[in-house]
Structure 1
Amino acid sequence: MIRVLVAGKYQDAISKVTTLAQSLPQEIQILDTAMDEQAAMELIDSKLPDVVVIALDTGDTEMIQVARKIYVYKPRIITCVYGHNMDSNLYSQLLNSGVRSAGEYPTDPQAFLVSLKSLLEVESTRAGYLSNTHSALLTSSTVIGFYSPKAGAGTTTCAVNTAVGLARRGKKVILVDLDLEFGDAHTYLDLKPRKSIADLCSEFNRDTFSISDIESYCGLHTSGVYILSAPKSPEYAERVTAEQVGYILSTLKVYFEYIIVDMPAGLSEKHANLLKYINRIYLVTPLQLSSVMAAKQAIGVLGILGRKESINVIANRTARMDLISLRDLHKILNCRVVAAIPSDYRACISAASRGMPIIVSMPHNAIAKAFNNIAIYTLSKDTTLDIWDMSASEIAKAYQKLEAKGPGKTAAVEEKKAVPLFRRHGRRQVNGGTA
């Protein structure tokens, strides 16, 4: 059974396709129809079709944008287009938009079926080859936002070290610094990127981004972590729109297993827009009353936005003398606490000053072990861990269980030479930013 979604601006055009399919109910299933771009993309996400058929009417080219977005954001889905009196200019547009097949409306149901089967056969062969050659294309990805309502809580340190921890376990990871005014995540990795997300958005002023576009603006750390840096100066922040961030994240999800987002402090409309794309939120808070109360207020707003279940609290800079315990933190925030990072000011400052993540420079330090635990928890995709009432030994055992049963086993903890996602001759230096 071939699962088909039909998209078109006019109902008459859509009916030409659905009528053909209805004569072959055992072979073709029409999942749904869409009459605009937004509806088409939403139905693709919810219905998961094998093929999207775009039905054009005379002079109607607006739906071609749907084909381009499918090609960029949903590369596993086949797109074919049917229309009337299609000229060479239209064929050229369709080819540039990633359409697999285009032509006049078929009149024979069997010919229509044979055409779809042929497209699927070719795609299945290609997908199998890509799988065997470890293609960069992915069927699933996780976007993780590191967030604190108050600045200075340690979100960047947590984001950077978690990203490195995941990469050292053989995962494809990119760190996106969305603290657009004062982001400095690249300094924690000793990178000096010549371009940033603001340059990407201003130089490619459009609503789609290819992975090649994005990769040429990224830095690459020796651990294998890619980083898309924040603007070099606060005044460039306005170059980046919420819509462009969404398009960038959607493209990255096809190629990276984990997208780590270093979110800005505060809570505003831009946070609400960003949260649409984030699967898991790591809320970082020190055990200080002002920070904890700010976290409580933020959780209240996130709850209103329907995101409370995706919140995972990380207690940062914990010490024995803290007046607020993990038990108190859990009671105040009413959220699961998944990690506690001990306080070691000297070690953190040393690592940050040298541009070396503590998970690399001091692997036996208690802080590094805590970041490794966060990486293990992330890989496990567990949603039940809550350490607020556990002793130190119980916490260690809990993470060991997660690592033993999940995909969090270390695949490559040794430092390795990073290679670009797409090989290019003379494109850029690994640690020197981008060309």
Structure 2
Amino acid sequence: MAHKLQGLIIGNGHGAEKTFAADLHPLIQVEVSRGETALKTLVHTVNPDVLFVFAHGPHGAGHPELIEVIDEFPNLVTFLIADTKDPDLIRQGLRTGVTDFLVYPEERDTLLPAILSALARTGKESRAGSVLSFFSARGGQGTTTLSLATADHLARTTDAGVLLLDLDLYCGNTAGFMDLPSHFSPFDLLDNLERMDANLLFSSIPRHESGFYVLSTTKEIGDAESLSASDIDSMLNLLTHYFDHVIVDLPHDFSGKTVGALKQTDHLMLVSSQEIPAIKATTKTLRLLQDLFFDEENLHVVASRYSTRHDISSDHMEEIFGFPVCGTVAHNRKVCHEALMAGKTLHTMQPHANICRDVETLIHRVLGGKVPSRPREKRPWPFRFRPAVHLRPTRAGAAS
């Protein structure tokens, strides 16, 4: 599940620790010390995942206790920090056994990507946000519709940062559904991963009027084969540091890229219609997902395009799957078609439609109390007096 790493900053008395801690906040929860307490004692007390040591001393030497700490805590990720890129200090730090060397504040803009890269090499994971993915074993089950509606609902009803990520790298067109420009794609994100910061990220990804961001493929089919599972892993690691919820619309396959995204997923919505071919494919997929990564806490079966008139009910689906159906989403072709033609969300077209109500219920059932609602704006009382009996006009000359 999503979590932040714990960090410890050892200052050098020059006052940069406070701003450094603020810059780390999206990535790591830190405590700051100016070196009054012995380093080993601090590490034992705080028990950090990551240690940041500002170089100090007359010649910029590292902390004198650093070697002992690294020897005693071999799994501790350690960064040595200085205000200049001094080759001698870098060599000294590497000989000491630090994980990496950071220049601060001169290279402040690339601080988080540099730390992310080093953490990835050590296998450490730091997550500020969660990943909610939609997957179906075959196309036409409504995963894109559900992922769009989910992103829209979370953005409208919470203060969270929400991103919709379309991982159909060949023919995905989620941004096109919302009539948004698609000049920045997952390929562009990976090309700029090392220099990506909050300003560049939020200025590059298009934002829908409802408040959620959309990262989708461009109009031209990119070279999706050039992306590996580790690329998807790096992408999601970065995005979950800047967004509270990353909603992923997965392709209908088990390629390395899809499996890489599944490994990062906190909640997986497995979508199936009531049709026999879809149910058969979902049954096989369900068994595989249970064997690989998921249990009932984070795997949720959704009956999409659901009709109560269909011969196969949700109870029948549960019996076939041997697994509970988390929720049903009504089949409302009219609203979906109108929203697609207008480039609008379902809620914008018909906020009280049954499909919108079902999506909202599903999200709260999966995320529970993690989705606090904003207080709704007060609206004028809609009631208007309409007499049941037709009022006769006043006769001319009648007493007033």
TM-score (norm 2): 0.65
CA contact (8 A) 1:211 1:252 kept: no
Secondary structure, in 3 states, of the residue corresponding to 2:157? coil
Once the 2 structures are TM-superposed, how far is the Cα of residue 152 of structure 1 from its aligned partner? 1.0
Distance 2:247 2:40 in 1: 44
CA deviations on 1:357-401 (whole Å, 9 max, x unpaired) are: 112210111011111112323441xxxxxxxxxxxxxxxxxxxxx
Task: Using the TM superposition, give the Cα deviation of residue 211 of structure 1 relative to its aligned residue in structure 2, in angstroms.
Answer: 3.4
CA shift digits 1:187-223 (9 cap, x unpaired)? 232212222222333x43x667433443343110011
Check if 1:237 corresponds to 2:221: no
| CA shift in 2, pair 1:268/1:332, >3 Å | farther
Q: Show the 5 A alignment for 1:315-394.
A: 315-380=303-368
Matched AA of 1:29: H
- Give the equivalent residue in structure 2 for 1:159: 147
Letter in 2 for 1:200: L
Q: Give 2:358's aligned amino acid.
A: A
Query: Secondary structure in 2 aligned to 1:281?
Result: strand
Letter in structure 1 aligned against 2:289: L
The alpha-carbon deviation at position 275 of structure 1 amounts to 1.1
Q: For the structure 1 residues 412 and 208, does the alpha-carbon distance in structure 2 shift closer, same or farther, using more than 3 Å as the test?
A: farther
Does the residue aligned with 1:283 lie in a helix, a strand or coil? strand
Q: CA offsets, 1:46-99, max 9 Å, x none?
A: x753624599xxxxxxxxxxxxxxxxxxxxx994359993279x9996333649
Matched, 1:280 2:295: no
1:86 corresponding residue in structure 2: 89
Contact kept in structure 1, 2:81 and 2:102, CA below 8 Å:
no
Equivalent residue in structure 2 for 1:297, among 284, 299, 313: 284
User: Deviations for 1:244-291, whole angstroms, at most 9, x for unmatched residues?
Assistant: 222221112122111000101122332212211111100111011110
1:300-359 CA distances to partner (integer Å, 9 max, x unpaired)?
211221324321011111112212111111122233322211112122111111111112
- Residues 198, 231 of structure 1: 8 Å contact kept: no
Change (3 A) 1:183 1:338: same
Aligned to 1:265: 252
Give the corresponding residue for 1:180.
Answer: 169
Q: Secondary structure at the match of 1:29?
A: helix
Letter of the structure 1 residue corresponding to residue 187 of structure 2: A
For residues 28 and 280 of structure 1, the distance between their equivalents in structure 2, rounded to whole angstroms, comes to: 34
Q: Corresponding residue for 1:314?
A: 302
> 1:179–1:264: 8 Å Cα contact kept in structure 2?
yes
CA spacing shift, 1:53–1:296, aligned 2, 3 Å: farther
Aligned to 2:26: none
What residue is the counterpart of 2:374 in the other structure? 411
Separation in structure 2 between the aligned mates of residue 199 and residue 211 of structure 1, nearest angstrom: 15
State whether residues 269 and 302 of structure 2, in contact with CA within 8 Å, keep that contact through their aligned partners in structure 1: yes
Q: What displacement does 1:239 show?
A: 4.3
Counterparts of 2:128 and 2:101 in 1: how far apart (Å)? 31
Distance in 2 (CA, whole Å) between partners of 1:324 and 1:51 is: 56
Q: TM-score, normalised by structure 1?
A: 0.60
Question: Alignment RMSD, CA only?
Answer: 3.6
1:222 equivalent among 209, 222, 239:
209
- Structure (1 or 2) with the larger CA radius of gyration: 2
Question: What is aligned with 1:246?
Answer: 233
Q: Is the 8 A contact 1:242 1:273 kept in 2?
A: yes
The aligned amino acid for 2:342 is R
C-alpha distance 209-238 of structure 1, shift in aligned 2 (>3 A): farther
- Cα 1:275–1:156 change in 2 (3 A) is same
- 1:149 aligns to what SS in structure 2? coil
**Separation of aligned partners in 2, 1:413 and 1:150:** 38
How much does 1:148 deviate? 0.4
Q: Quick one: distance in 1 between partners of 2:280 and 2:197?
A: 41
Consecutive unaligned residues of structure 2, counting only runs of 5 or more, are 1-5, 10-34, 56-76, 94-99, 113-125, 378-400
Deviation at 1:243, TM superposition (A): 2.1
Q: What is the 5 A alignment of 1:21-100?
A: 26-29=41-44, 48-49=48-49, 51-52=51-52, 79-81=79-81, 85-86=88-89, 94-95=103-104, 96=107, 98=111
Is residue 129 of structure 2 the alignment partner of residue 141 of structure 1?
Answer: yes
Q: Cα–Cα, structure 1 residues 98 and 140, in superposed 2: closer, same or farther, change >3 Å? A: closer
Identity of aligned residues (%): 25
Q: Give the equivalent residue in structure 2 for 1:15.
A: none
Is the 1:252–1:259 Cα contact (8 Å) retained in structure 2?
yes
Find runs of 4+ consecutive structure 1 residues off by over 6 angstroms: 2-5
1:199 equivalenced with 2:188 (yes/no): yes
Contact 1:217–1:228 (CA<8 Å) still a contact in 2?
no
> Deviation at 1:156?
0.3
Compared with structure 1, are the counterparts of its residues 164 and 193 closer, same or farther at alpha carbon in structure 2 (3 Å cutoff)?
Answer: same
Alignment of 1:126-137 (within 5 A): none
Q: What SS does the aligned partner of 2:103 have?
A: helix
